[in-house]
Structures are given as structure tokens and as C-alpha cells.
Structure 1
Amino acid sequence: MSILSRAETVSAHDLEVVRRRRPWRLVSGAVIAILVAKFVQILITNNRFQWDVVGHYLTFDRIMQGLGRTVVLTACAMLIGILGGILLATMRISANPMVSWVAGAYIWFFRGTPVLVQLIFWYNLSALFPSINIGIPFGPQFVALNANHVITVYVAALLGLGLNEAAYMAEIVRSGINSVDPGQLEASQALGMGRFLAFRRVVMPQAMRVIVPPTGNQVIGMLKTTALVSVIALPDLLYSAQLIYNRNFAPIPLLIVACLWYLLLTSILSVVQYYIERHFNRGRRGTTRRPREARRGGTS
């Protein structure tokens, strides 16, 4: 019997499976472990972090008030941004060229200028318009309002953040709508649905699969962007921390307090985003598994 014939008769059980060696995994793991250990050592041994001060101010009254303003400002600004984004996206895909052009000009302007500049502009709007008049152009004015009384620091923050966010949300919503096959809308109308009903019941549920992930990122981004309102002296979380460390000269502990609250809120928003995405992805393969199972390929 030839050597080849003998090799063919060897049972599969006689073959030894050798696990592939990956030495760089061990090296990279060791490097990461060393870096993590060094980081923990710094946190524990460096007394300049003043963890006792961090613990004292973590639930301080002024910090909690600033935290509440940050949450409310984030929610209200995103509400303006989402509603404005839906309106702008609808205008952008309109068959009317004038309506589409106006929406495009809005998106171009608000995405092309920094949100910090827009906040400062709205805060100083009274320098440009001392009074806000409502009436007929070149005709009688029905209402005249003092701009300083109308555009308060809160209104300036909402306008600056919300109107800027609307420009980004418009592109997110438009991309979600465009991701749905136009035949879906045509088939729905062929079944007797009106255009609005077909858009609400057929197009938007499918578009939400594309809209939700970037919208979740925008919400998290908005939470952190609210820190910019400190430049117009709105006492949000960051500005409240600044007011305290300007008095006790302990900037590092107060900044750590602000960072811890931002991290907690973004973690909560990330979990909420995951479950919302899972809800809209129902019926698609592999979308109901947990993240760890998805990484392992769903095997147990």
C-alpha cells in the first residue's frame, strides 16, 4: 500500500487539531493591562484629584439644579430640532423647487456656521432688533415686543441649539425617507391608502431603522453641546460647576463632578437608544440578540 493510500485511511479522530497561536493577542493584552493598572494607580495615589471634594459636590444643590437645566434644555432643543428637521426634510424632497430651495438654504446656513456663534448671535439679537414687530410687511404692525424681554438667556439657548439641530435632523430624516423603496409608497396607494396614511404607516416605520441610530447620537451630542451655553451665562451643569470652583479654587474636582454626571446621562441615553433600535428592527435577522451574542455569532 502506498503512503498516499495509508494517509487516506487515517481516521478523522486520529488527527490532532492544533489551535492557532496568536502571540500578539497576549502582547496587546499585557500592554493594555499595564496601562489600566497605571491609570488606576494615578487615580488612587494622586491626592490632587481631591475625591473627598468630588463626593461632597456630586449632589450639591447648585450642581443638581444645573443638571436639571441641562436635561430640560437637551430635551427641548431636541424637540425643536426633530420637529424642525421633519418639516425641513419634507420641504427638501418637495416637488416645488421654491420650497426645496428654501429648505436647502436653511440647512446650508445653519450647518455652515458654528453653533457657538449662533448662540452668541441670538443672545445679542436685541442689538440688531431692539423691538420685535409682528404685522404686515410695509403695513401696519399689530404687536411690538421688547427684544430684551422676549429673547431671554433661556430662549437664546433654545433657539441657538434647536434651530441648529433642525438642520442636521433634516438630513437624517431625508436620508431615512430616501432609503425606502419608492415602490412601497406606490403599492400602498394602489391598496387604497391616502398619501399621508401610506407615509405614516408604511414609509416612516421602515425609515426609522435608518433615522433612529444617528438621532440617538445627535441626542447624546446635544447633551454635551449644551455646555456651550455657559458662554451666555446660562447656569447649566458646567456653568454651575464653574461658579463653584471660581469661589473655592478647586477646578479639577468640580470638573470631575460635571464629567461624571455627563457620563451617567450619556450611558442612560445609550441604553435607551439600544432598545429603541431593537424595537424598530423587529423582524430582521440577528437584530433581537444582545450585543454580546451578536459578537459571538449567536452561538451558545
Structure 2
Amino acid sequence: MTIDYLISILLPMLEGARATVILFIIAIIASIPLGFLLTLAVRSSIRPLSWLASSYIYVMRGTPLLLQLLFLVFGLPHIPGIGQYLVIDRFVAACLGFILNYAAYFAEIFRGGLLAIDKGQYEASKVLGLNKFQTLVHIVLPQMFRIALPAVANESVTLVKDTALLYAVAVPELLHFAQTAVNRDFTIIPFVMAGIIYLLITICLTFIFKWLERRLQYE
């Protein structure tokens, strides 16, 4: 196994890793705020809104992410009457699938964070004359995020690994290029290299979240 061969398979795999990282960034940026909005909707006093948000979370967490991706990429165009208007780029559809799925998981994480906050803090904020919005921004959110951060970090690492599901919907990413090299060259080396790249991405992500945890401990 020569250096030239390793470089020849590494370059396209790095291109695939770029798609993996882009998908992760898009999904994490969009799904975390959406997840928090879902948490607020579930806790809303408006019954229909709370019921809809809860049902959404149950459906997204109760069905496989792969099935959701297959539905968005291959299923939407076959909906009678409107399917022709729902044909979208596969990478965009995959991003949408990851956002919608992980928002449900983050919603449950944030709900747990909110439940962990002592109710006495809400009463104290009233005594201080804070309204609901001020209480949310200055009291609730900082504590909720600090409590939920380890679970968010764990879910984010899972998100990185789940990007391999792009392979199933024919979106070129890291695993796609590794599989192509394996089939062409009859060697498992590309799989090993893909595993190393995934590991390096998750290690970097873990260090970032550890740094955030240390920062929040001293605030």
C-alpha cells in the first residue's frame, strides 16, 4: 500500500467529509432553536399547540431517521396531486430530515433541563419584578443550557455519526467514497480511513463541548 494510493483515496474522502461537516453544521444550527421552540410549545397552556408539538416529537422519535430520509427524498414526489411540486435536491432534503428529526430529540433534552430548574427560582424572579420574558432570558435559559449541555454534546456526536445515512439516499459523503474505493480496489483500508476521519471529527466536537462546559462552570 503506497503513499500515492492513500493520497488518491484520501482526497475524495475528504471531499465527502466536507459534505458531512456541512450537513452537521446546518442541522445543529437549525435543530437546536427548533427543538427549544418545540419545548415551549409542549409546555404551552394552549392545548392544541401542546398536543401537536407532543405528537410531532413522538412521531419523529418513534420512527427511524433512515425512514424519514427515504420519505423526504423518494416519497414526497409520489404524493398524489402535489408530488411534482415537492421534488427537491437530495442534499437539501437530507438536511431537512436531520433538522426535523434532531429537533425532536433536542426538545426532550431541553424539557428535561427545564424540569431540573427549581420552581423557587420562578417565584424569586416574580419577587424581583421580572416579567415572563425577562425570567426566560436571564434566569431560565442560562441554567437550562448548563444542565442540558452534556446531553446536547452527546446528541451532537450521534448526529455526526448519523450523517453516514446520507449514503442510503445517494448523497455523496464520506462513507460513499469509502465504499466506492473498497468495491474498486478490494481492500478495507478506505473503511479504516473513513473511521479515522469520523473519529477525528467527533474528537474535535467533544473538545469544543468540554471547553463550553468549563466556561459555563465559571460563569
Q: What TM-score do you get using the length of structure 1 for normalisation?
A: 0.68
Q: How far apart are residue 131 of structure 1 and its match?
A: 3.3
Q: Report runs of 4+ in structure 1 exceeding 3 Å deviation.
A: 50-55, 129-132
- Which of 265, 268, 272 is the equivalent residue of 2:208? 272
Work out whether 1:147 is the aligned partner of 2:86: yes
Aligned to 2:33: 83
Work out whether 1:127 is the aligned partner of 2:63: no
Residue-by-residue CA offset, 1:139-186 (whole Å, 9 max, x unaligned): xxxxxx7322xx210122112211110111000001101111122122
Residue-by-residue CA offset, 1:184-243 (whole Å, 9 max, x unaligned): 122223212221121111111111222100101111100000001101110111112222
Pairing 1:141-180 to 2, within 5 Å after superposition: 146-148=85-87, 151-180=88-117
- Which of 178, 192, 195 is the equivalent residue of 1:256? 192
Q: Aligned in 2, Cα 1:192/1:235: closer, same or farther, shift over 3 Å? A: same
Aligned to 1:118: 68
Residue ranges of structure 2 left out of the alignment (5+ in a row)? none
Aligned to 1:213: 150
Pairing 1:25-64 to 2, within 5 Å after superposition: 50=1, 52=3, 55-57=6-8, 59-60=10-11, 62-64=12-14
Structure with a larger share of its residues in helix = 2
Inter-partner Cα distance in structure 2 for 1:130 and 1:247: 42
Are the aligned partners of 1:241 and 1:254 in contact in 2 as well (CA < 8 Å)? yes
SS, match of residue 129 in structure 2: coil
Residue-by-residue CA offset, 1:111-162 (whole Å, 9 max, x unaligned): 1101111110111110115637xxxxxxxxxxxx7322xx210122112211
Aligned to 1:199: 136
Aligned to 1:14: none
Work out whether 1:95 is the aligned partner of 2:34: no
Residue-by-residue CA offset, 1:68-106 (whole Å, 9 max, x unaligned): 110010111122221221011001111222211111100
Are the aligned partners of 1:106 and 1:167 in contact in 2 as well (CA < 8 Å)? yes
Q: Aligned in 2, Cα 1:154/1:111: closer, same or farther, shift over 3 Å? A: same
Q: How far apart are residue 51 of structure 1 and its match?
A: 7.5
Q: Percent identity?
A: 35
Inter-partner Cα distance in structure 1 for 2:2 and 2:99: 36
**Residue identity matched to 2:160:** L
Q: What TM-score do you get using the length of structure 2 for normalisation?
A: 0.92
Q: Aligned in 2, Cα 1:258/1:177: closer, same or farther, shift over 3 Å? A: same
Are the aligned partners of 1:216 and 1:273 in contact in 2 as well (CA < 8 Å)? yes
Inter-partner Cα distance in structure 2 for 1:182 and 1:170: 20
Are the aligned partners of 2:28 and 2:99 in contact in 1 as well (CA < 8 Å)? yes
Question: RMSD between aligned alpha carbons?
Answer: 1.9
Are the aligned partners of 1:88 and 1:170 in contact in 2 as well (CA < 8 Å)? yes
Inter-partner Cα distance in structure 2 for 1:197 and 1:85: 20
Inter-partner Cα distance in structure 1 for 2:128 and 2:64: 47
- Which of 61, 66, 80 is the equivalent residue of 2:16? 66
